Amino acid sequence: MSELNEYALRPDKLGGPLEGPAESAEQLANGKNVGKSCQQCFTGAVLPGEPRGEMRELASLKTYFTPGRRGEGEQVGTGKVIVIATDAFGLGIPNPKIIADRLAEATGYDVWVPDLLEGDYPPMSKLYLIEKPIKGKPLLERAGIWVKVVFSQLRFVGATFFYRHRRAVLLPLATRFCTALKKEKGIGRIGMVGYCLGGEVSTCLAGAEPLDGLTLVDVAVTAHPGFLKIADFEKARVPFALICAEEDFAFDSIRKGAIEALRRMEKPTAVLDDHPGTVHGFAARSDLSDPNSKEQFEKALYETLGWLQAHL
């Protein structure tokens, strides 16, 4: 079992203090505690900060790249990288770039963020966004919130967005990208982090059969995913961490079955679900001006880092 890099786990290496307790390094290392439109995919806020990386092209996809401390291509053929599969807002907002920068700085690994949406981004600023759990609200208030969410999605996103970016489109793009990293860049191991829509990608590739003798993804972290079935989790064949929101209408219907499937795996798994006051999207686009949102965002980032350090 790999040991966690305690330097990389220092809160200051994550770009700021953790406001609350995270899973211990031992828990993370040992894997303990561990078809429909997704309106919940359109929740959250833009993260502050300026990206430090650059845009490149790989496998015919525009890609955000940020180098780790060790430098690009430290050991050709044995190198390790992190790939982020973004949420439905893609590279249209700075969030995945900022998260990539922080992971690169903390781990020392290069981080790549392919544009799997190929420039087709929803206008986040025009959407009605849910940022707090609403299950405890009166029925009529919940209904009113959902009417606003659905109306803004239909008006500014359209009914066909998720069809254009369905699994049959996203997975071939992600497969081509990971194959290029291993074959063209000589990368030995890939850790994939998937958020929301990208969580479908990270989960499916974690269960994919080797392609031409290559394992596409060697370690996976999936945060509040959408568009998945329990069977997708049953296929996972690599160390797999699942980060859950307290309330997630995109995932709650299969949450119990997905967790049970992961706990039956022979490979290390972690179910990281202690994130009170959170909804779908919190690990990718929390409002950091809110103390609890900031605490839970930092905690999820810490958990992601810990899993990658332990198993990549």
- What are the tens digits of pLDDT across the range 202-241? 999 999 999 888 999 999 999 999 889 999 999 999 999 9
Provide the percentage of residues in the chain whose pLDDT is more than 70: 81
Mind spelling out the 3-state secondary structure of 33-101?
A: CCCCCCHHHCCCCCCCCCCCCEEEEECCEEEEEECCCCCCCCCCCCEEEEEEECCCCHHHCCHHHHHHH
pLDDT surpassing 80 at residue 276: yes
Q: Which amino acid is at 87?
A: D
Q: Which amino acid is at 200?
A: E
Query: What whole-number distance in Å separates Cα of residue 157 and Cα of residue 90?
Result: 13
Residues with Cβ < 8 Å from 297, sequence gap 6 or more? 282, 283, 286, 288
Confidence label for 156 from pLDDT (cuts 50, 70 and 90): confident
Query: What whole-number distance in Å separates Cα of residue 13 and Cα of residue 105?
Result: 7
Chain-centroid distance, C-alpha 253: 19
| Greater model confidence, 51 or 123 | 51
Query: Counting every residue, how long is the chain?
Result: 312
pLDDT surpassing 50 at residue 63: yes
Burial string for 284-312 (b: 16+ CB within 10 Å, else e) reads: bbbbbeeebbbbbbbbbbbbbbbbbbbbb
Q: Pairing state of beta strands 61-66 and 110-114?
A: antiparallel
Query: What whole-number distance in Å separates Cα of residue 109 and Cα of residue 309?
Result: 10
Lowest mean pLDDT among 37-46, 87-96, 151-160, 219-228: 37-46
What are the DSSP E strand ranges found in the chain? Answer: 54-58, 61-66, 79-85, 110-114, 187-195, 219-223, 240-243, 269-272
Q: What is the pLDDT of residues 91-110, one digit of tens each?
A: 999 999 999 999 999 999 99
Angle at which helices 197-206 and 167-183 cross, to 10°: 60
Q: Which amino acid is at 55?
A: M
Q: CA dist 103 to 149, 174, 258, Å?
A: 32, 20, 26
172 exposure class (CB count in 10 Å sphere: 0-12, 13-18, 19+): exposed
For the chain, first and last CA: distance in Å?
10
Query: What whole-number distance in Å separates Cα of residue 184 and Cα of residue 179?
Result: 8
In this prediction, residue 254 carries a pLDDT of 93
Q: Copy the structure tokens of residue 104.
A: 């690169």
Query: For 76, phi and psi rounded to 5 degrees?
Result: -60, 130
Provide the percentage of residues in the chain whose pLDDT is more than 90: 59
Average pLDDT, the chain: 83
Lowest mean pLDDT among 98-102, 144-148, 243-247: 144-148
Q: What is the pLDDT of residues 70-86, one digit of tens each?
A: 555 444 345 899 999 99
- Please tell me the CATH code under which domain 11-311 is placed: 3.40.50.1820
This prediction has a pTM of: 0.83
Q: Which amino acid is at 9?
A: L
pLDDT surpassing 60 at residue 24: no
Q: Which amino acid is at 100?
A: A
Domain spans of the chain, in order of start: 11-311
